[in-house]
Structure 1
Amino acid sequence: MDVASIDTRVGTESKYEFSHGNTLPLTGQSFSMNYLSVQTSTHEDSWWFNPQDHTFAGLRLTHQPSPWIGDFQHFLFRFKTDVNFDLKQIDDYNPNKAIFRPDLIALDSLNQQIKVMATASKIGGVLRAFNYSQDQLKLIIQGEKLSFVRFKDDTLIFKTNNFSACADPNFTMWVAVSCKHMKFEAEQTVDKQNALILSIPNKNQIRFATSFISEFQVKTNLSRIGNFDTVQQATIKDWNNLLSKINIQDSQKEKVLTFYENFYRSFLFPMQFYELDENNSPVHYSTALKKAIKGKMFTNVGFWDVYRSSFPLYSLLCPDKYSEFLEGFFNSYQETGFLPRWLSPDERGMMPGTMLDVIIADAAVKGIKVANLEKYYDAMVKGAETSSKDAKYGREGLEEYKKLGYVSSNYPESVNKTLDYAYSDWAISILAKILGKDEQAKYYSKRALNYQNLFNKKVGLMTPKDAHGNFVKNFKDTDWGNGFTEGSAWQNSFNVYQDLPGLIKLYGNNKNFIQTLLKLVNQPPKYGIGSYGQTIHEMREMVAQPFGQLAISNQPSFHLCYLFALAGKPHYTELLVRQLLSSFNSSFKGYPGDEDNGSMGAWYVWSALGLYPQAPGSGKYVFGIPLFDFASIKLPNGKKLEMLNENNDQTHQFVAGRNFNDQKCSQEISHQELLEGGLLTTKLTLLA
């Protein structure tokens, strides 16, 4: 699949009330420091692009990972030809004739008579504007808290100071824009935004770069930006190198396109948050220390979202990048004293749990290089034992968790916090074993069983407890909130990745466990608003899908369909996975819920290939059912993993058997076995 086939607008037709992905059409290289996009709205909120709009405000330089998090250091590139142009005026374009690709944005401003083209690298990009009118072509750079610095030698320097949240109120981005024979004309203020107005020659190239470090650094970055073709070809190469890691062959081209659209989404976040100085050494701006320091850093990532699917995908396809991410996240720990939870640009404290713990353990188990492994272990232990005065960091309710063995209903999301903390404790025990810390491994392995303290045998689900050990009264299993995160007890009670046999034992036996799962997927998708006090978009999205209480629209449900296979009923998994995959497509409404930093895209990639990370930190995968006739994966060690799917059609919905290198497969396979490469053959059958 070539990058030119990717339409970046998949999943962008979303709004506050209902998400079909809440994605943005992002142009730039994988894991970039900046992305370019098209802003179609002038509304001051996070939903600034709609693929059905026939108007656009300009090209937006963005760092927005999610509408729920917001943007930072963003501004617009705008082009005008009207003699008496109005900065409040929005332009017209035809979205059906526009190009939205990872390497290219191209559209026609109909009222201004301008063709606009843009491409981007990791640290900047190049714009082109073709003026079809006889009027002077103007470039307007517009944004909130944007200020002029200087104009010299055809180069404009300005800076921005806008963000939805940041520890440093003076956090700044410098921008350099260069174009031959460009002239600076004026600075204006319009609707609380500043606008820098420049005249530029027709058909010229406008190079730009950004820096979070300094004016000197942004000039260094600009010197590394080539012409339009050079930058575009580098971005094409970057994406094609990634896309070529998996080769899909199938008779249904729409399915193949959907796969690669999801592949693209999986490699946008985390975003680079460091630069190379004049000596090509990495340097980044620390918003915690309020100064530039040496080392790498990454941002725009929520670990609660990505630990389940995204990072396991990186572990198989690009372990070196995985190592680089961990290097950056350790720098964040050194600067703040706690491992990060949700970075944008710095700690936002969103979502429960300290799930970077699991990402670290998964890397260590799979043999991925983790610099400072011993120090990372110390950092994980600190998060497990030390409460932070700032609730954004560490584990909220930690003292209760250590004393009671659970987080009580005194804290919001108490059940999810308890289950996530128990999983992180297990991750610590895994790392302790690797480091030869046997006593610590036993301690945290035992504490990883704390999930059992909230299992309510009377209802067969996890239930919040008060601080006195009593299950809360008037419990309703379909009420959202009330101890649970973005769901009810049905979506969140099975987040016990580290000890599924122990969870099944709480039900008495496999049969009872399977019956509970069957009840989960076969009951109506009813919900109560619970402690949310209103209907939120995740509730609507669950109801929109025909899977009962299995809300594939959100991360806690990602693994639910695979629990059947792990409990001895793989045909239920196979049937569900095929149905769940049909909830995705390559349209503007391509997702069943928030895509969230590549996590849902990675879920699709795994599930379409026919396997899924069983429990990150275990180094194991559980088999589902492959979607394609044939897939080939280029492994990082130079070997190749080929996956052949026999009898692959709509009537054959179940797996009759699997062979890996001529040996019969069980229901699980290890990461190390996959890295050996070879041929995995799956034979499908008509009847279960």
Structure 2
Amino acid sequence: MISIDTRTGTASHPNFSHGNTLPLTGVPFGMNYLAVQTAGENGAWFFDPESRNYQGIRLTHQPSPWIGDFQHCLFNAVPQGSHDATGVYQPDAATFSPALINIFDEHHQVRTQATATARGGALRFTSHAETLDLQMNAPDRWQVLRHDENSIVLQLQNFAASEDSNFSMYLALGTDAQIDWFAATVLLDKTQSGPFTTPVTAGGTLILPGTNDGPTTVWFATSFISPEFAQRELAKLRPQSFFSLAQANQTTWDDKMAIFQVQDRHADRVQTFYTNWYRALLYPMRFYERDEQGSPVHYSTIKQTVLPGRLYTNTGFWDTYKTSFPLYALVLPEQYGYFLEGFLNSAKETGYLPKWLSPDERGMMPGTMADAVVADAVTKGIRPDLWPELLAAMVHGATVPSPDGKYGRPNLKDYHTYGYLPADIHESVNQTLDYAYSDALIGVVAKALGKNDLAEKYTKAGHNYRHLFDPQYGLMHPKDRSGRFVPDFDPFTWGTGFTEGSAWQNSFAVYQDIPGLINLAGGPRPFLRTLHALANAAPQFNVGTYGGVIHEMAEMSALSFGQIAISNQPSFHIPYLFALAGEKSATELIVKQLLLHVFNAGPAGFPGDEDNGSMSSWYLWSALGLYPVRPGFDDYVWGIPLFDEVTIQLPDHALNLTTENNADYLLFVKERIADGQPIDQATITHQKLIDTQQLTTDLQLLPSL
């Protein structure tokens, strides 16, 4: 059994990120997760791995501290009458695992164990005290809807944002303790309390005094649909002991972990691989439930009613399309199909494919990058029954502006007029490059469906990136409305047309036509000179239109890896561009150094925001020795493998990856052999990869001449 500590990447704060993650316990792609809370006063940064404070177990749906939480609450148990709910724990003695939290509060002398299923879970409290106060704390609005001898149903309403101002979560709690309902109260603040049936409008704590003849178990279940859905889910959980639920959840994780079987002499690196795989399996989160017939249904915050079908939330496509979704396409294609169902349902309800869901559209980041998720499914043959409707949604987003800027492509009229977005528009370069990429992806899907005229139109539009290429610098350069490059260009200046970076990080997002980008630069040698200048430049920056230092700037500086800011998503593919331009040795050298020195399984395990599995998936791909540089175009670029041996359990057979002469000082690939045949190309198609059973890579000291 693989042991994973979920605290990876949690040593983060608003000014500097080692992941901006939470120590989440649940099941893959769950509807809820549990996390220890140590610092609720810090808002979205409510867990500090170095803090010894213990405030309780938080039921959370937070995908990122920059997005915030929704429908969250805090569970705890303290000896009856205790006025200070905050406890103290020993971090090194606690268990933080994907299936189990085990923590001992030394202040109150209460041990808390917690586990979470897809839509519920259980907590187990053990104490020598005769009675315990079971506590549930939530912000904003909530109320008790019903209760009986040892169960209660609540309605919670707290969220960072939603299209539905009355969006609710129904929380059903059941316990094996006997609740003293006459003594049950709601504590609104330190001095004011009332009957437990009091509706709460600005946050408070529900206190349920219960007998404690041995350990107390509390089962919980949630629903975004109705109290009845929550109660029905609770009824499935209550016959099961805490330990049987925890074991079932552990088995679920073990099954997913077994997709990769890693063998290597460095146990810490193996640990890092599986910890990243855990992170990659958390998002997107389920946002659907099962009706009495077992069919998937969901609450639509857009239509404000219950609708059939799957729905997913808590993913930002600007981050995850690059690495996470291609990984699911390779090893979890059936699950990928379910994701597509959910994203199509989002499009049916809003008119547009989603961009950043939590719980509904947040409209964060440039582009409409779900287009890449669709096109990648098409090139890999996943769910062809959905392709026509998905293509229609892609075209709608490319042609019909929304009055609400959260949806679709903002500033479409300007894009169609100029072929680019002018410099007076926020993030003009990144928006232009992303729109052009999406146009090319529409061409991919249209061609697969035999719509050749449409394919030709959008494939041509995919060349719009050329409008902003400045041959003087070999980089993208914002243009004004008259077609002139804006003056005083500085490739080290952030903002001014670029997103979370400068021209160095953001000029190479031309996934649909990298050969064309290389030609614009004057050919492979000039293109490589630009890449070498990027890699060898100091990690300096000018704050530009950001007006001050943001955490991404600090993280790039701390990484000190030139302008290859692997700490943020725009740079993810840059190390692999060297290979595509004919210098595979540079790709191998850079990638291996990043794998050896930048990532680990600890609280400081990431060089920047992990972002819903995207950075974890970058590590996974790179450690396997290949990378999906251009989702939607059916190929991977070779890098350099990290491990002695990895077996990947594909849906229909095992793919074995073996590395010979695997030593840290051997930085270059001598040869690759797939099923007995040498591979000389810089890329391999998806079909060729999944048809392969044995891939052997041999390393050497110097690159071959």
Using structure 1 for the length normalisation, give the TM-score: 0.98
* Partner amino acid, structure 2, of 1:281: S
CA distance in 1, matches of 2:579, 2:487: 34
Work out whether residues 326 and 370 of structure 1, in 8 Å CA contact, stay in contact via their aligned partners in 2.
no
Other structure's SS at 1:200 match: strand
**How many angstroms does 1:661 deviate by?**
0.6
Q: Which residue of 1 aligns with 2:64?
A: 66
- The answer for the alignment partner of 2:7 in structure 1 is 9
Q: How many angstroms apart in 2 are the aligned matches of 1:131 and 1:447?
A: 66
Structure 2 unaligned blocks of 5 or more: 191-201
Tell me the equivalent position of 2:27: 29
Which residue does the alignment assign to 1:663? 677
Q: Tell me, yes or no, if structure 1 residue 549 matches structure 2 residue 563.
A: yes
Aligned to 1:447: 461
Q: Choose the corresponding residue for 2:477, options 437, 441, 463.
A: 463
1:327–1:370 CA contact under 8 A, matched in 2: no
What is the identity, as a one-letter code, of the residue corresponding to 2:611? Answer: D
Identity across the alignment (%): 49
Seen in structure 2, the aligned counterparts of structure 1 residues 280 and 54 have a Cα distance that, compared at 3 Å, is: same
8 A Cα contact 1:220 1:277, kept in partner: no
Displacement, 1:44?
4.8
Is 1:140 aligned with 2:152?
A: no
The CA distance in 1 between the partners of 2:83 and 2:18, in whole Å, is 34
The answer to whether 1:390 aligns with 2:404 is yes
Answer whether contact 1:338 1:379 (CA < 8 A) is retained: yes
TM-score (norm. length: structure 2): 0.96
Unaligned runs of 5+ in 1: none
Matched to 2:189, the amino acid is: V
Aligned twin of 1:194 = 204
Instruction: Name the counterpart of 2:688.
Output: 673
Give the alignment partner of residue 590 of structure 1, picking from 590, 605, 610: 605
Structure 2 distance, partners of 1:521, 1:462, is 17
Moved more, 671-680 or 553-562: 671-680
What CA distance in whole angstroms lies between the structure 1 residues aligned with 2:155 and 2:77? Answer: 20
Q: How far did 1:132 drift?
A: 2.2
Q: CA deviation at 1:641?
A: 0.6
Give the C-alpha shift of residue 675 in structure 1: 1.4
For 1:279-298, what aligned pairs fall within 5 Å after superposition?
A: 279-298=293-312
Q: Give the count of matched residue pairs.
A: 682
Alignment-mate amino acid for residue 561 of structure 1: P
Q: What do the CA deviations read for 1:451-507 (whole angstroms, capped 9, x no partner)?
A: 000001112110111111111122211111110000000000000011011000111
1:628 aligns with 2:643: yes
SS of 1:475's partner is coil
Name the residue aligned to 2:193.
none
Among 525, 530, 547, the residue aligned to 1:533: 547
In the TM superposition, residue 678 of structure 1 has moved relative to its aligned partner by: 1.2
- Could you tell which deviates more after superposition, 294-303 or 35-44? 35-44
Q: CA separation in 2, counterparts of 1:208 and 1:517?
A: 53
Summarize the alignment of residues 567-646 of structure 1 with structure 2, pairs less than 5 Å apart: 567-581=581-595, 582-637=597-652, 639-646=653-660
Give the Cα separation in 1 of the matches to 2:244 and 2:518: 57
Q: 1:513 aligns with which of 527, 534, 539?
A: 527
- Tell whether 2:108 aligns with 1:112: yes
**Superposed, which structure 2 residues align to 1:254-653 within 5 Å?**
254-581=268-595, 582-637=597-652, 639-653=653-667
| Structure 1 counterpart of 2:197 | none
Secondary structure (helix, strand or coil) at the match of 2:103 reads strand
Contact 1:148 1:196 in 2 (8 A): no
How far off is 1:200 after superposition? Answer: 2.8
Deviation digits for residues 614-657 of structure 1, max 9, x if unmatched?
A: 310011001100000011111112x1111110100122110011
Q: Equivalent residue of 1:371, what SS?
A: helix
Matched, 1:123 2:119: yes
Which deviations, in whole Å up to 9, do the C-alpha atoms of 1:656-678 show, x marking residues without a partner?
11110111112211111121131
Instruction: Determine the C-alpha separation between the residues in 2 that align with 1:471 and 1:101.
Output: 52
CA distance in 1, matches of 2:123, 2:699: 50
Tell me what 2:157 maps to.
161
Further displaced range: 472-481 or 102-111:
472-481
| Counterpart-to-counterpart distance in 2, 1:223 and 1:369 | 34
Maintained 8 Å contact 2:674/2:692: no
CA distance in 2, matches of 1:319, 1:104: 28
Cα displacement (A) at 1:199:
2.1
Residue type matched to 1:440 in 2? Answer: L
State the distance in 2 between where 1:442 and 1:419 align: 19
User: In the alignment, is residue 685 of structure 1 matched against residue 700 of structure 2?
Assistant: yes
Runs of 4+ in 1 over 3 A off after TM superposition: none
Residue in 1 that maps onto 2:235: 223
* Aligned-residue offset at 1:82: 4.9
After the TM superposition, which of the residue ranges 600-609 and 453-462 deviates more from structure 2?
453-462
For 1:437 and 1:52, locate their aligned partners in 2 and report how far apart those are by CA, in whole Å: 57
1:188 deviates by 1.8
Partners of 1:634 and 1:646 lie apart in 2 by 21
CA-to-partner distance for each residue in 1:134-173, whole Å, 9 max, x for gaps? x411101001122222211311111110000011000000
Q: Distance in 1 between matches of 2:563 and 2:575?
A: 11
2:696 is paired with a residue whose SS is strand
1:207 aligns to 2:207 (yes or no): no
Q: Indicate conservation of the 8 Å contact 2:15/2:551, yes or no.
A: yes
Distance 2:348 2:178 in 1: 44
SS of 2:173 mapped into structure 1: strand
Verify the 8 A CA contact 1:327 1:371 in the aligned structure 2: no
Deviations 1:187-236 (A, max 9, x none): 12127422111123430221110000001111111122232122212211
SS of equivalent to 2:385: coil
Q: Is the 8 A contact 1:250 1:628 kept in 2?
A: yes
User: Partners of 1:375 and 1:15 in 2: how far apart?
Assistant: 42
**Of 307-316 and 43-52, the range deviating more from structure 2:** 43-52
1:182 corresponds to: 178
